[in-house]
Structure 1
Amino acid sequence: MRYYLMQSVEDKIEKVIKSKQRGTLFFTNDFMTYGSAKAIQKALERLTNKGGITRVTRGIFVRPEISKYVGEVLPTAEEVAQGIAKRDKIKIVPTGVSALNKLGLSTQVPLKLVYLTDGAPREIKIGNRIIKLKRTTPKNLLAKGKTSSLVIQALREIGQQGTKEELKHRIIKLLKKETRKNLEHDLPLAPVWIRKIMQEAL
């Protein structure tokens, strides 16, 4: 009887997973209505062993995309961070080297991705990379523009002294692609010296 119940939980979970697109992230909590925490954990272990899903990190799984060249394609650490934000209904904003990298201002791929958040602070290990969620004040999460939000965080990382003329020109060029409405909204949220650079884009 116990084995049947576990099989039933596994079948239900497998059905849900197969109904989703490859590349979709799944969290253990997604299946809480199907049985006890122990039964769900066992079912996910069995599905992982069967090859239907791959464990990304503790409590997070994926039905991986398959490439004919490299086989399984697992989600990036950035995609996992976005998945966690969506699940927990929290805001996250890339900071430091991550912000510079996303803007194309640095080729350095950080092993530690630091995000500002209004959620609980924590660290999640994904392979050899770490996602760090760092709690911050609401003001730091109010920016509406995707580019302007990244620019504010990237320039904070570089600092006023490190922001040379050539870099300013590249940033202004990026900011000009931002909608005027978003840029005007985000101006007051930036420190004064960053605000001056953003104003030049207007």
Structure 2
Amino acid sequence: MTATHSTIEDYIKRYKRGDLIVPSDFRGKGSEAAIRKALSRLATDGTIRRIGHGLYILPIKDPLFGEVLPSADEIAHALADKEKIKIKPAGAQAMHKLGLTTQVPTKLVYLTDGNSRTIKINRTIIRFKATTPKKMALKGELSSLIILALEELGTNDLDAQIQNRIRELIRKENPVVFKQDLKLASASVHDYLLKIINDDRMA
């Protein structure tokens, strides 16, 4: 057993069950090659679990269900925390979070102020998509998801059920925050949401 392996194995004992582990956690404790080799060996012997390229988990062990792994969304946010970047769900992922669709997406797209990258977790694809500071400036918990979902998916051919759900969500958002976020939306999304608001006022 190498010194790097022993050091990393001891260091991992400080982690909590469910924590994400990446090679950069151990910089300065050996060469990149030695760190990756140590993590690979620890995964082989069952100390940690490999969930993707360069991504490992210290799995939660439930007496009834066995290993319990975090969701892909939890992994995405944990990775963003590790890399000190911001992410915002977009597209189908934003739609799912808003309850606009019951279908769980197999491709999770997040806009980020970091670099673009794609991560495969079993059958799920996590995509970090670099975007502009303008989109990352959205503040509202609901309005940001609404705008980013529509920015990715478009506003054409949305059925009445989705429009009614969007109307309900707009009502739940802080009006001041929503108004600020609306200014950051693209012209098509701005006009679409403004029409929903105006129709709601006239109803």
TM-score range, shorter chain: 0.7 to 0.9
Written as runs of structure 1 = structure 2, the 5 A alignment for 1:155-166 is 155-166=150-161
Deviation per residue, 1:20-72 (Å, 9 max, x gap): 21110011010012111222122212221221110111111110112233211
> Match for residue 108 of structure 1?
103
> Match for residue 192 of structure 1?
190
- In structure 1, list runs of 5 or more residues that go unmatched: none
| Structure 1 contact 160–193 (Cα < 8 Å) conserved | no
Q: Which stretch has the larger CA shift, 8-17 or 59-68?
A: 8-17
Inter-CA distance 157–36: structure 2 relative to 1 (3 Å threshold): closer
TM superposition shift of 1:120: 1.5
Q: In structure 2, how many angstroms separate the alpha carbons of the residues matched to 1:178 and 1:16?
A: 43
Alpha-carbon RMSD across the aligned residues, in angstroms, is 2.3
Q: Which amino acid aligns with 2:174?
A: T
Give the number of aligned pairs. Answer: 197
Inter-CA distance 197–171: structure 2 relative to 1 (3 Å threshold): farther
Written as runs of structure 1 = structure 2, the 5 A alignment for 1:1-202 is 3=1, 6=2, 8-190=3-185, 191-196=189-194, 199=197
| Structure 1 contact 148–186 (Cα < 8 Å) conserved | yes
- In structure 2, list runs of 5 or more residues that go unmatched: none
TM superposition shift of 1:74: 1.7
Q: Which amino acid aligns with 2:190?
A: V
Inter-CA distance 65–197: structure 2 relative to 1 (3 Å threshold): farther
Q: Which stretch has the larger CA shift, 186-195 or 90-99?
A: 186-195
TM superposition shift of 1:187: 2.0
Fraction of identical pairs, as percent: 43
**3-state SS, counterpart of residue 10 of structure 2:** helix
TM-score, normalisation: structure 1: 0.85
TM-score, normalisation: structure 2: 0.85
Q: In structure 2, how many angstroms separate the alpha carbons of the residues matched to 1:65 and 1:179?
A: 37
| Structure 1 contact 168–197 (Cα < 8 Å) conserved | no
TM superposition shift of 1:157: 4.4
Inter-CA distance 64–181: structure 2 relative to 1 (3 Å threshold): farther
Deviation per residue, 1:73-126 (Å, 9 max, x gap): 122221222122222222222221111111111011121112222221121111
**3-state SS, counterpart of residue 34 of structure 1:** coil
